[in-house]
Amino acid sequence: MAVIERYNIDDVMQKMDRNEIANLPYGAVEIDRNGTILFYNQAEADICNREVRGHVGRNFFRDVAPCTNRPEFKGRFEEIVFQGKSMANFDYTFDYNMKPTRVSIQMKKGSGDSVWIFVKRL
């Protein structure tokens, strides 16, 4: 199940500013090709039971969500960054310092070298 199943994600992202993305009802995280967080919204903080502040500039895979530093998650990110894929959709379980939570993930190549990760609780 895609996170934004009713919308074309490219159209949605082109029409939204950062404030609108910050207020989406599902998690939205933008990271660069090295995994550094560029943007982290409130819905993602709520899913992971964290504060929204303090995440930008940290490494997503090492510092914020080490449970994603696995081939089934980070490997899909690397396919987008290094192999030219444009999108990945899959279900996953977040379990780092939290109650295990099943989520639907949609990764999408952003502008430049960034990748958006959209997260919806299942």
Q: What is the pLDDT of residues 19-54, one digit of tens each?
A: 888 888 888 899 999 999 999 888 877 777 777 788
Indicate the burial class of 53 (C-beta count within 10 angstroms; 0-12, 13-18, 19 or more).
exposed
Q: What is the pLDDT of residues 76-116, one digit of tens each?
A: 999 999 998 989 999 999 887 768 889 999 999 987 889 99
CATH class as words, domain 9-121: alpha beta
Tell which residue, 53, 48, 15, has the closest CA to residue 117. Answer: 48
pLDDT band at 12 (very low <50, low <70, confident <90, very high): low
pTM of the model: 0.84
Higher pLDDT: 7 or 25? It is 25
Distance CA 87, CA 34 (A): 17
What one-character-per-residue DSSP string does 55-122 give?
Answer: -TTSBIIIII-GGG-STTTHHHHHHHHHH---EEEEEEEE-TTS--EEEEEEEEE-STT-EEEEEEE-
